[in-house]
Amino acid sequence: MPNPTAAMLVIGDEILSGRTRDANMHHLAGELTRAGITLAEVRIVSDEPQAIIGAVQALSAAHDTLFTSGGIGPTHDDITADCIAAAFGTHIDVREDARALLAAHYAKTGSDLNAARLRMARIPDGATLIDNPVSVAPGFTLRNVHVMAGVPAVFQAMVATVLATLTGGDPLVSKTLRIERGEGDIAGPLGELAATYPDLSIGSYPFQKDGKFGANIVIRGTDGAMVDTALAALETRFPG
Amino acid sequence: MPNPTAAMLVIGDEILSGRTRDANMHHLAGELTRAGITLAEVRIVSDEPQAIIGAVQALSAAHDTLFTSGGIGPTHDDITADCIAAAFGTHIDVREDARALLAAHYAKTGSDLNAARLRMARIPDGATLIDNPVSVAPGFTLRNVHVMAGVPAVFQAMVATVLATLTGGDPLVSKTLRIERGEGDIAGPLGELAATYPDLSIGSYPFQKDGKFGANIVIRGTDGAMVDTALAALETRFPG
């Protein structure tokens, strides 16, 4: 059985304007690979309702799981929760369980649970809260969509919580062979290898550094023995 | 008139598996912002024909310009050029102008222009070549799609070439105010400011570092005087 697939939706003008470099995608990609879940697609959209709603509907329908990052804070540009609700036609309002979490936190820190902060308790009906051990304001899971914060420390904590609840497939085994030859010399034999092992993913990533050039050939698959056999065949063809 | 919009399509399993951290998106985002072109959406897809073709069709139709990155080398997983041709129903084969570029290069370096390397001369009918000053194999422009290499040095050179040919709108002016208050205290006044200036994009990016916390408020717009006025209003409300 093929591994389950996931998509990620990054919400935020600050990535698209080049102001901020996204860190969450790389983190999630690595965690999913370790969990045996294939990250099949990532989209980055701006803080526009139609862009977010459209992407949520498309990606949640096309994949087993969708992870979102960003747009769940207290400011006017934090519209993710409302867009998720709209994408599924679900009612959304301040929910008592989320409000209680925030009220307890702000009582302790002496801050006011004002209207802006209350926005962070807007949770769609039927959603399950995702714990935020860093700054309390929760994420949530609605259907197959996991809605998480954009702040990397919070995002990473939420990913850990969610991944513990998901069933992955077999973890992906990945082996790399560095070949110091032009990619054009490697390509022919590599194509034959890929044709021989259709169940493996074989990628070629060229490098050029310190006057040396070549390609790192990465062989990935869930069958570790098959990965080793293909790697050995490649090593025979291009002895180190 | 609103600025023209662009999308980016990153093609490559190595990003989705977490093996490689994409660098091209951040570069393009900054260059487009400087050029007065709004990067509206980014998608990252795997080396699968249907995923690439579908994304090319959707993004090139929805935006003024589409930039792609990756998948134009000589190996079996380099299928971008054929997918672009398929997306538009255009014929593709080894083209004489591209073949001549490669032949001259490999004659000089003493390498063989073999079948694999010839793949890099596969260019759709009607496309214009994009110069590759680093490693010769060209990118190309077909309709509103600019097809570029994934290797960052080559990608950046190609972006510079392409941007010189595009007409941007007014460059975006961006000013930042650092406010050392909880986002929940800033959110109310910030929402009012955003409502007062609908032509500006006002974003709030929280930070927590070295025991201090607060948010960087970024005000962006093409009218520099309006950006300054809004910034001054915010400074008055939250004096440093």
Q: Which of B183, B190, B202, B216 to mutate to test the interface with A (most CBs of A within 10 A)?
A: B183
Residue A21 lies in a domain: yes
Residues A115 and A183 in one domain: no
Identify whether the C-beta of residue A71 lies closer than 8 Å to the C-beta of residue B181: no
Find tokens 């609908």 and name the residue: B198
Residue B131 lies in a domain: yes
In the predicted model, is pLDDT for residue B226 greater than 70?
yes
Distance CA A81, CA A53 (A): 10
pLDDT computed for residue A141 by the predictor = 97
Residues A126 and A195 in one domain: no
Residue A129: CA atoms inside 13 Å, Cβ hemisphere, count? 19
Is the torsion defined by CA of B219, B220, B224, B230 positive or negative?
Answer: negative
Which chain B residue lies closest to A19 (C-alpha atoms)? Answer: B30
Residues B122 and B217 in one domain: no
Last residue of a domain, one of B134, B163, B192: B163
CATH number at residue A224: 3.30.70.600
Predicted TM-score of the model (pTM): 0.88
Residues B123 and B179 in one domain: no
Find tokens 């698959």 and name the residue: A221
Q: How close B72 gets to chain A, by Cα (Å)?
A: 12
Last residue of a domain, one of A163, A194, A211: A163
pLDDT computed for residue A1 by the predictor = 63
In the predicted model, is pLDDT for residue B209 greater than 80?
no
Residues B188 and B128 in one domain: no
- Give A46-95 pLDDT, tens digit per residue: 999 999 999 999 999 999 999 999 999 999 999 999 999 999 999 999 99
Q: Which member of B16, B201, B204 has the closest CB to residue A29?
A: B16
pLDDT computed for residue B48 by the predictor = 94
Strands (E), B143-226: 145-148, 173-179, 201-209, 212-221
pLDDT computed for residue B1 by the predictor = 63
The band of B222, judged by pLDDT with boundaries at 50, 70 and 90, is: confident
Residues A205 and A230 in one domain: yes
Residues A70 and A149 in one domain: yes
Expressed in percent and rounded to 5, the helix, strand and coil fractions of chain A are: 40, 25, 30
Residues A142 and A206 in one domain: no
Last residue of a domain, one of B139, B163, B187: B163
Which of A:19-58 have CB within 8 Å of B? 19-22, 25-33, 38-47, 51
Identify whether the C-beta of residue B68 lies closer than 8 Å to the C-beta of residue B84: yes
Which of A:79-108 have CB within 8 Å of B? none
Say yes or no for a CB contact (<8 Å) between B111 and A184.
yes
Write the CB contacts of B213 (distance below 8 Å, at least 6 apart in sequence). B180, B182, B206, B207
In the predicted model, is pLDDT for residue B190 greater than 90?
yes
Q: What is the mean pLDDT of residues B116-137?
A: 94
Distance CA A156, CA A162 (A): 10
Residues A44 and A122 in one domain: yes
pLDDT computed for residue B201 by the predictor = 86
In the predicted model, is pLDDT for residue B99 greater than 90?
yes
Q: How close A142 gets to chain B, by Cα (Å)?
A: 23
Residues of A with CB below 8 A from B16's CB?
29, 38-42
Identify whether the C-beta of residue B22 lies closer than 8 Å to the C-beta of residue A23: no
- Give B50-83 pLDDT, tens digit per residue: 999 999 999 999 999 999 999 999 999 999 999 9
- Give B138-182 pLDDT, tens digit per residue: 999 999 999 999 999 999 999 999 998 888 777 778 888 999 998
Beta bridge partners of A9: A43, A68
Distance CA A175, CA A166 (A): 25
pLDDT computed for residue B227 by the predictor = 95
Residues B111 and B41 in one domain: yes
Residues A62 and A100 in one domain: yes
Residues A147 and A190 in one domain: no
Q: How close B182 gets to chain A, by Cα (Å)?
A: 9
CATH number at residue A135: 3.40.980.10
Say yes or no for a CB contact (<8 Å) between A76 and B187.
yes
Say yes or no for a CB contact (<8 Å) between B45 and A45.
no
Residue A168 lies in a domain: no
pLDDT tens-place values along chain A, 240 residues long = 678 999 999 998 889 998 888 999 999 999 998 888 999 999 999 999 999 999 999 999 999 999 999 999 999 999 999 999 999 999 999 999 999 999 999 998 888 899 999 999 999 999 999 999 888 899 999 999 999 999 999 999 999 999 988 887 777 788 889 999 988 899 999 999 999 999 998 988 887 777 778 888 989 888 999 999 999 999 999 997
Report how many domains make up chain A.
2
Distance CA A229, CA A175 (A): 11
CA max distance for chain B: 68
Residue B168 lies in a domain: no
Judge whether A110 is closer than 8 Å to chain B, CB to CB: no
Question: Which range of residues forms the domain containing residue A226?
Answer: 173-237
